[in-house]
Structure 1
Amino acid sequence: MQDSINIALVGNPNSGKSSLFNALTGLNQKVGNFPGVTVDKKTGVAEIVPGLSANIIDLPGTYSLYPKSADEYVTYDVLINQQSADTPKLVIIVADASNLKRNLLFCSQIIDLKIPVIIALTMMDIARKKGVEIDLDGLEREIGVPVVAINPRKSKGITEIKKTIDLALRSQYSVPPRDFINNNALAPQVIDGVKQIVPVKSDYAALHVAVNAPELNFLTANQKQGIQQTLKTNHFNKTTVQAEEIMQRYARIKHIMKAAVVESDPLQKQLQSEKIDDLLLHRFWGYVILLFVMFLLFQSIFWLASYPMDWIEGGFGALSGWLSQILPDNKVTDFFINGILAGISGFAVFVPQIMILFGLITILEDTGYMARISFLTDRLMRQVGLNGKSVMPLISGVACAVPAIMATRTIENRKERLITIMVTPLMSCSARLPIYTMMIALVVPDIRVFGFLSLQGVAMMGLYLLGFFMAILIAAVMKMFVKIREKSYFIMELPVYRAPRWANVGTTMIEKAKIFIKDAGKVIVVISVILWFLASYGPASRMEPVHQKYEKLLADVPEESPEAQVLNKEFQSEKLANSYAGILGHTIEPAIRPLGFDWKIGIALITSFAAREVFVGTMATLYSVGEDPENNNATLREKLSSAKWPDGRPVYTKAAGFSLMIFYAFAMQCMSTLAIVRRETKSWKYPLIQLAYMTTLAYICSFIVYHIFK
């Protein structure tokens, strides 16, 4: 086995690269149906034939070999930099047969780099529906490299392409001796001069080094200086050269298309996708349908998840009550039930909603509708200093802000990318979902208007829309302050509509549940255990008087009497108030009291800075520690609904519930997001600005909402 063999998968966005990567390697990489889903290089090992394995590199999608965005530079560096550890021995170009002319431009450029190439044609079924018939043998003769038809979504053609890879690696296919076009004639003196400075394989590679020398990290300072001098001496105009190159390539591609491709009259047949787009992208009805789709999404989250959530919540309540009865009444039992079990129940109950949310998002991606959302919102985005490419990170932010911020690398314009990074955390991520669900269940009546319209689902949708429109508003403000002047454009290929791959939907749901349980669950349980200690112990100077006080009071009443039960409850409550957690909570309570929050919520605000979903686990632990052991079988919702201020008023009123939801909708309660913003902007300035403005915004809006509803 030769571990050093690298095979790169390249192609236009939406051409099927990631599907082929999965088919070759078996990795469960997410496959989306919109441009820019693959941002970082992804690798996996594939067995080509027995005894021969290769390292497959799935590179970001790009339309040509002239990079404009950060993700396109990833592809460019691997293909141009011969010193890279990822330099491929073979390149598989995944080309969309239904848009062959455009895809052949990129193919021709890579062929001229003199790297062994295989063209994998996808979407052959779509091409046939368009009336396009491709002579594979004729196309192979015209281009001079192997051409294989595949359908990775249905695992068709995978055996054939592996055989072709094996033959190519054994040098059965040679690199075409002639260039696709006469590259040397484009700038002969410059190309010859660059080849004397930098060892490159072809005239075309030398041309690219000349065009992009300042951005190429593998060049030394002396090499860059020598290239700049060569360009200056020969009066090199890269724009003119690039334009001439593209025109010559398309002239040759036109000849190839005539020789190997038969196309029907495009006016004779309109694809079903285009007919559907007439409605879904309509200037008025398109937006109405978009809102309806979002409405169905959030109604479904509540409706479908309510049954498993009730089962899980009731199951943990019954388990806690049962364990309280059969286990001895000591600190170990208390630690297990009110520390570990309460922490686990705090996140386990929300797993069904997380799975359903990601399942529905995957369906939107798979069907092709997610790309239409970008198209529909481009006009709105431009008015606030963004463009349609910003929509994909914002929508991804509904799942998690960290990969969403990384996805902004597809945005070429620096100003638009920076603003998108700064506002993406305002989108309600899946970590906020447990908080929303818990609060909505407490303060929004479970009423169905017209027999099917869930009021709680409407409230959930309102919170997500609130995050989106606040992001738009903040972007409009930042547009005035970010002083970067660059022109931008938004070109996007709309994929054809397809039936969702249910296996992919199921896999995504399971994988996201595993990630939530593994990553969020781990943090929640650890913090819950720490909180149990902080809530169970306190300074001796404060805890001992409490114990002495209630020992005397309890000694004067019968053990099972109602008075004893009341005293026990007061004892637990006063112990919690004088614990380390209670002291910390009461210290910060004056600052959050104007928002309607008590000291327990204050503790949860602090702990949830590690991760927002920790809020629920924190509340589960605090209310378990502070409860009478006889009440362990009560659910968290029941405990919260019975929580009282010292004067007897309920803590979780409508005003407090809405205030808390608004606070979490806008607050930057996530260390991971701040870390990724620091990495993407290469400065602490922007994450600190983000933390300051989001916290201030959350506090002010929460204050206003509380006093309005109060």
Structure 2
Amino acid sequence: MVGNPNSGKSSLFNALTGLNQKVGNFPGVTVDKKTGISNLDENASATIIDLPGTYSLYPRRDDEWVAYKVLLHADEKIHPEIVLLVADASNLKRNLLFCSQVIDLKYPVVIALTMMDLARKKGIEIDVAGLSTELGVPVIAVNPRKNKGIGELKKVLAQTAKLHQQPNKRDFIDNLALAPSAIEKVKQTLPGISNYEGIHYLINHENFGLPDTVNEVIEQAEMDNNFNPSKTQAEEILQRYTRIKQVMQQNVVEPDPLQRKLFTEHLDNILLNRMWGYIILLVVLFVLFQSIFWLAQYPMDWIDGGFAQLNGWLNNTLPAAWWSDLLINGLVAGLNGILVFVPQIMILFGLITILEDTGYMARISFLSDKLMRKVGLNGKSVMPMISGFACAVPAIMSTRNIENKKERLLTILVTPLMSCSARLPVYTILIALVIPNTYYLGFLSLQGLVMMGLYLLGTVMALVVSYVFKFIIKMKEKSYFILELPVYRAPRWKNVGITMVEKAKIFVSEAGRVILFISLILWFLSSYGPPSRMDAVNEKYTVQLQQQQNISKDSVAEIEKQYASAKLQNSFAGILGKTIEPVIKPLGYDWKIGIALITSFAAREVFVGTMATLYSVEDKDNNTRTLQEKMESAVHEDGRKVYTLPAALSLMVFYVFAMQCMSTLAIVKRETRTWKWPIIQFVYMTGLAYLMSLLVYNLF
């Protein structure tokens, strides 16, 4: 499946494949590879590979090169049998350039014509049958949002496959006339390629992994025939647009261009206004973060309460043994730390998908360009940075869309400062602990305001750091910001639902595996310790408990609590936490938080799982309490509460700035192809986190 960006390709992919899809990477490059299975009829199913969007067969970015190499038979892993070409009916002239190029590659092609409803609103009428005859390939009008035309498209794809339909024999333009001798020489060297493929082998053969002998023959053909790539490309594009104009005149009726503006343009006058545009943007972001609390509160409480009841039941039912301890305080506590935050993850990604679907996300890039340029970035940096609210790893991968090397590097360096969804569980539990659930004016939640403040803090610091690095990194390269603003559309609720389910599955399977693994390791480290230490603790408290007949039940419970606490402090985990406690004590943290900071380097969301495990191990006899209740009652050795307002704010600020994600460091190394920048990133972010947390703790 190929097509221009914003042509409705993702909608059609979802309509054809439903939930039968998976996301990976193309071999050798960090570019998303979406594949899915579509049942075309009772006897035929298709594996659909959604190639990255591209405007023409002259690639500039890494993702465009991926699509280009697949179509030019230069990808060893992917060999398409049919090309499903998605074209935007409301912008047909531009889309037909790419369509005509793909048709000339001589694949069996089926064109899916999307946005027909939008074309009609613009006053555009298309003779679909006439267009199909003119292009020499089947053209099917579809509306993936309303599931219209999908059945007919599947039927045509199945017929194309069964009949082994031959590609259109005539070229859209006379490709051979562009460089006859050179093309013939290439076709003799590489039998079976089309005239148009011959042109592309002359232009880009060095990038196709051909044997040296073949490359030498092609280069000799270029020299012998004075082949000029730029001139040939320009001439080809001019000829294609001349022919496209003829096709459009015969099959498309367009309105007078001076007709009144569309709804989209009227709305842009408000949403992209120099003053109102920024106010509306802040309101949208505020509603986004308020909604995370409004909508997720009840399911989170149900899940947390359910696990508390399950813990209590297991504690009362199972015999006292190491395996029951592992099950309750390792496995179940770890699962609680994963599943309780699924509602918030789903809501966050659902709302972001709605912003993308409606077309507003592109407007955020446009609005931000002026500000971005002042700090050394440009509007294209906004999309990776906003994607960083979800996860820094794919966000950093998406910086490949930024052609300017300095701006791309700056975007990579600051994107991890955007608060990713992994930080969300940390913010949520700490805000719930110390920020009262009060409302101003009946609808402004204080907790939501604090959450928005944390996200804005990371964003502002990203801009400040970029401004500083702008002067440190010495690269001089001109930069341009060209962006196509998609039309406004109603969100595709099915697509929103699919995204929410997929992201929840990814969180549970990917982050969940890490959290569960760390929880089980942590249970072991917090349940066992050096024999000499543990024996001394056991001996001391065994003597005290043997005298329990002479003391009250409350005193026995207090001794048992002290016993569990002493065992935890003398365990391997306790020794580790106590070792780093002097370093983190100025920030208001105790040794248990220190353990969580270390385990968070595997993944930030592990913080909650770590707390769940540590407090479950320490509080084995009262497992009916929720994690929040256990954290609320946590005290230092001198009796002071651990989670005071200054300590919790300091900890939130630490998580805003700290680079606690091994996956992100690994992807930065892969994208920059050196360890220099991940090391710089780790050092500056950790130093910034420590200093800002120290400042916040002392201020409050």
TM-score by shorter chain over 0.5:
yes
Equivalent in the alignment of 2:495: 504
SS of residue matched to 1:683: coil
**Structure-1 separation of matches of 2:299 and 2:155:** 48
Q: Secondary structure at the match of 1:337?
A: helix
Counterpart residue identity of residue 99, structure 2: C
1:123 aligns with 2:115: yes
Aligned match for 1:692, one of 651, 660, 683: 683
- Distance in 1 between residues matched to 2:611 and 2:19, nearest whole Å: 38
AA in 2 matched with 1:458: L
Matched to 1:342, the amino acid is: A
Name the structure 2 match of 1:654.
Answer: 645
1:411 aligned to which of 397, 402, 405 = 402
AA at the equivalent of 2:263:
Q
Distance 1:519 1:154, change over 3 A: same
Q: Which of 218, 230, 235 pairs up with 1:239?
A: 230
Structure 1 gaps of 5+ residues are: 1-8, 32-37
Please state whether the residue corresponding to 2:87 is helix, strand or coil.
strand
* Residue type at the aligned position of 1:93: L
| Structure 2 residue 533 is matched with structure 1 residue 542 | yes
Count of matched residue pairs: 693
1:471 corresponds in structure 2 to 462
Moved over 6 A (4+): none
* Structure 2 Cα separation of the partners of residues 679 and 468 of structure 1: 24
Q: 112-121 or 298-307: which moved more? A: 112-121
8 Å Cα contact 1:427-1:471 kept in structure 2: yes
Separation (CA, whole Å) in 1 of partners of 2:319 and 2:551: 18
Cα distance in 1, alignment partners of residues 320 and 158 from structure 2: 68
Q: Deviations over 1:569-591 (max 9, x none)?
A: 22222221111111111111122
CA 99–533 in structure 1, closer or farther in 2 if over 3 Å, else same: same
Structure 2 matches for 1:609-688, cutoff 5 A? 609-627=601-619, 629=621, 631-688=622-679
Match of 2:27 in 1: none
**2:110 aligned with 1:132, yes or no?**
no
Shift of 1:706: 1.9
Distance 2:440 2:673 in 1: 50
SS at match of 1:44: strand
Match of 1:182 in 2: 174
Change (3 A) 1:383 1:204: farther
Structure 2 residue aligned with 1:5: none
Preserved contact between residue 22 and residue 35 of structure 2 (Cα < 8 Å): no
Query: Cα distance 1:188–1:433, how it changes in 2: closer, same or farther (>3 A)?
Result: same
For residue 112 of structure 2, give the secondary structure of its aligned residue in structure 1: strand
For the 8 Å contact 1:140–1:146, the answer to whether it is kept is yes
Please tell me whether the aligned partners of residues 393 and 408 of structure 1 are also in contact (alpha carbons under 8 angstroms): yes
Shift in Å, 1:44: 3.0
Quote the Cα distance in structure 2 between the aligned partners of 1:321 and 1:426: 39
Query: What are the superposed Cα offsets for residues 45-69 of structure 1, whole Å, 9 maximum, x if unpaired?
Result: 4344443443322111101110000
**CA deviation after TM superposition for structure 1 residue 171, in Å:** 5.6
Say which SS state the counterpart of residue 93 (structure 1) adopts: strand
Shift of residue 567, structure 1, vs aligned partner: 2.4
Cα 1:160–1:295 shift into 2, 3 Å: same
Aligned with 1:607 (options 599, 612, 618): 599
Aligned twin of 2:304: 313
The AA in structure 1 aligned to 2:66 is V
CA contact (8 A) 2:56 2:97 kept: yes
Instruction: Provide the alpha-carbon RMSD of the alignment.
Output: 2.4
Structure-2 separation of matches of 1:312 and 1:608: 23
Conserved? CA contact 1:312–1:348, under 8 Å:
yes
Structure 2 CA distance for aligned equivalents of residues 391 and 366 of structure 1: 17
Distance in 1 between residues matched to 2:142 and 2:464, nearest whole Å: 46
CA offset at residue 241 of structure 1? Answer: 2.5
Change (3 A) 1:615 1:172: closer
Pair 1:75-2:63 in alignment = no
Higher mean C-alpha displacement, 330-339 vs 665-674 = 330-339
Q: Displacement, 1:545?
A: 2.0
* 2:338 alignment partner in structure 1: 347
303-312 vs 72-81, which deviates more?
303-312
Match of 2:328 among 300, 321, 337: 337
Per-residue deviation at 1:658?
1.3
Bigger shift: 259-268 or 416-425? 416-425
Q: 1:29 to 1:19 in 2, by over 3 A?
A: farther
**Per-residue CA distance 1:460-500 (angstroms, 9 max, x = gap):** 01111122222222223333344444433333222222222
Q: Hey, what does 2:387 align to over in structure 1?
A: 396
Task: Indicate if the aligned counterparts of 2:20 and 2:36 stay in contact, CA closer than 8 A.
Answer: no
Q: Which moved more, 1:670-679 or 1:435-444?
A: 670-679
- The percentage of counterpart residues that share the same residue type is 64
Q: Which amino acid aligns with 2:50?
A: D
CA distance in 2, matches of 1:470, 1:43: 37
Q: Distance in 2 between matches of 1:331 and 1:41?
A: 45
Q: CA deviation at 1:303?
A: 1.6
Mark the CA change 1:152 to 1:656 in structure 2 (over 3 Å): closer, same or farther: same
Matched residue SS, 2:312: helix
The correspondence for 1:437, drawn from 419, 424, 428, is: 428
Contact persistence 1:41–1:74 (CA under 8 A): no
CA shift in 2, pair 1:266/1:29, >3 Å: farther
Moved more, 581-590 or 81-90: 81-90
Q: How does 1:45-60 map to 2 (within 5 A)?
A: 45-60=37-52
For each residue in 1:537-556, what CA deviation from the matched residue of structure 2 results, as whole angstroms up to 9, or x when unmatched?
Answer: 22221122222222333444
**1:276 pairs with one of 260, 264, 267:** 267
Q: Matches of 2:308 and 2:16 in 1, distance apart?
A: 46
CA-to-partner distance for each residue in 1:405-452, whole Å, 9 max, x for gaps? 222233333333333222222111111101001111122222212222
Once the two structures are TM-superposed, the CA of residue 291 in structure 1 deviates from its matched residue by: 0.6
CA shift for structure 1 position 199: 3.9
Q: TM-score, normalised by structure 2?
A: 0.93
Contact 1:442 1:641 in 2 (8 A): yes
Output one character per residue of 1:502-551: Cα deviation in whole Å (capped at 9) or x when no partner. Answer: 23222322232222222222322222222222212222211222222223
Quote the offset at 1:619 in angstroms. 0.7
User: In structure 1, what residue type is equivalent to 2:509?
Assistant: K
Question: Aligned pair in 2 of structure 1 residues 22, 352: CA closer, same or farther (>3 Å)?
Answer: closer
Query: Gapped runs of 5+ residues in structure 2?
Result: 24-29
Query: Counterparts of 2:81 and 2:334 in 1: how far apart (Å)?
Result: 51
For the 8 Å contact 2:19–2:498, the answer to whether it is kept is no
Query: Does the residue aligned with 2:354 lie in a helix, a strand or coil?
Result: helix
Alignment counterpart, residue 525 of structure 1, candidates 512, 516, 521: 516
Cα contact 2:106–2:168 (8 A) shared by 1? yes
Paired residue type of 2:463: I
